[in-house]
Amino acid sequence: MANAGDKIKDIMNVHVIKVLTSTDQEEVAKILQELELLQD
């Protein structure tokens, strides 16, 4: 968690993850799981 005095540049994640709206939802779930952004 961030503290009240933290600057956005110090806490933001610069690694952008994106998918197209046309990407199959199962492919999106696979990507998220590979990046450990989705729990089983």
* Inside any domain, residue 11: no
pLDDT digits (tens, 9 = 90+) for 1-40: 789 999 999 998 888 889 999 999 999 999 988 888 776 6
> Shortest CA distance to 37 belongs to which of 14, 6, 29?
29
User: Can you give the pLDDT at residue 28?
Assistant: 94
- Yes or no: say if 19 and 31 are a contact pair by the CB < 8 Å rule: yes
* Inside any domain, residue 8: no
- Domain span at residue 31 reads 16-40
* Inside any domain, residue 3: no
Distance CA 18, CA 39 (A): 18
* Inside any domain, residue 5: no
User: Can you give the pLDDT at residue 40?
Assistant: 63
* Inside any domain, residue 1: no
* Inside any domain, residue 21: yes
Please give the tally of structural domains in the chain.
1
- Yes or no: say if 28 and 37 are a contact pair by the CB < 8 Å rule: no
User: Can you give the pLDDT at residue 8?
Assistant: 93
* Inside any domain, residue 37: yes
